[in-house]
């Protein structure tokens, strides 16, 4: 597997691993499905009913800073270490993450990025997700076994996580480029945000790159040449520092994954994302074509 593609594994690769009983302490498969509440999908219930054999459920909301008023903010090192250790994931475990989104990938890149931010590089996204797995006719199950807990030592690379203050200061310093992965209507301020008490719009100077654009129609990641061209057209220089944002720090991680596949491995995430920015920013720092329409 080429170095720049180690972030992805194919459904055939994973199916072979499942068939040959390689899933276990050295290879853990995680269903990281999470959806916006308006979709009314119940990812934990769906997981209990059907998932890839050997998979375990990774709850993004549970593995987070529950003291924060914002959704699924990064947990502490000890919280992350305990959470993933209880999933039978050790320092040498290869982790493969997928979700059951209709896009092919939605929340899985968030968990991929979390592992990397906490110092675990042996992590891959299942290319095409459960959608591709089902399309190729591979088996599903409703059975799962809770693994034996192991020790996982997490060490957060703090440069991977940007705060509100970091992004605020960047308005002047322009030390990093900021890419927003939300749909373009929400970015422009002409389509409503999915969360109550939050209007659409964007952070000054940010660039719109909606996350579905990184995926093919069938849900797999586009190839690196296509991704590089997307960044180029958006005016993003992959040789310069890059930070990604979205609504709550989930789909922003698609930007990090796409950039990684192009050789830029150091993308940061603004974890509070638009949810925090809209709450805290002054009116002149909320750029919107339709401000006030969606109160």
For 196-218, the three-class secondary structure string (H helix, E strand, C coil) is CCCCCCECCCCEECCHHHHECCC
Catalytic residue among 243, 246, 253, 262: 246
In angstroms, the Cα distances linking 189 to 40, 183, 223, 249 are: 24, 10, 31, 18
Q: Return the residue matching tokens 């003291």.
A: 67
Which of 280, 285, 262, 268 lies closest to 177, judged by CA?
268
CA-based angle 132:138:139, to the nearest 5?
Answer: 125
CB atoms within 10 A of CB 29: 22
Q: Are 178 and 269 in contact (CB under 8 A)?
A: no
Which of 93, 175, 102 lies closest to 134, judged by CA?
102
Q: Is 57 helix (H, G, I), strand (E, B) or coil?
A: strand
Q: Return the residue matching tokens 């002409």.
A: 190
Specify which residues 94 forms β-bridges with: 27
Whether residue 246 lies in the annotated active site = yes
Q: Are 54 and 18 in contact (CB under 8 A)?
A: yes
Active site residues: 246
């Amino acid at each position: 597997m080429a170095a720049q593609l180690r972030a992805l594994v194919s459904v055939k690769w994973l199916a072979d691993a499942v068939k040959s009983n390689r899933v276990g302490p050295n290879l853990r498969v995680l269903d990281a499905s999470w959806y916006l509440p308006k979709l009314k999908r119940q990812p934990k219930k769906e997981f209990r009913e059907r998932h890839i054999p050997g998979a375990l459920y990774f709850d993004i909301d549970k593995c987070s800073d529950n003291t924060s008023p914002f959704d699924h903010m990064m947990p502490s090192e000890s919280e992350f270490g305990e959470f993933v250790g209880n999933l039978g994931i050790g320092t040498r475990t290869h982790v493969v993450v997928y979700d059951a989104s209709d896009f092919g990938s939605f929340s899985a890149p968030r968990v991929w990025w979390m592992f990397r931010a906490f110092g675990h590089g042996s992590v891959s996204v299942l290319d095409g997700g459960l959608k591709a797995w089902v399309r190729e006719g591979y088996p599903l199950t409703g059975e799962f076994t809770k693994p034996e807990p192991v020790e996982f030592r997490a060490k957060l690379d703090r440069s991977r996580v940007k705060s509100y203050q970091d992004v605020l200061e960047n308005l002047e310093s322009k030390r990093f480029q900021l890419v927003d992965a939300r749909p373009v209507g929400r970015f422009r301020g002409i389509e409503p945000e999915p969360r109550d008490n939050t209007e659409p719009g964007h952070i000054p100077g940010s660039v719109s790159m909606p996350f579905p654009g990184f995926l093919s129609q069938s849900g797999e990641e586009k190839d690196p040449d296509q991704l590089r061209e997307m960044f180029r057209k958006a005016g993003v220089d992959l040789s310069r520092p890059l930070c990604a944002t979205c609504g709550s720090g989930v789909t922003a991680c698609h930007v990090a994954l796409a950039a990684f596949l192009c050789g830029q491995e150091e993308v940061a995430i603004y974890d509070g994302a638009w949810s925090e920015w809209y709450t805290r920013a002054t009116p002149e720092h909320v750029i919107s074509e339709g401000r006030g329409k969606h109160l």
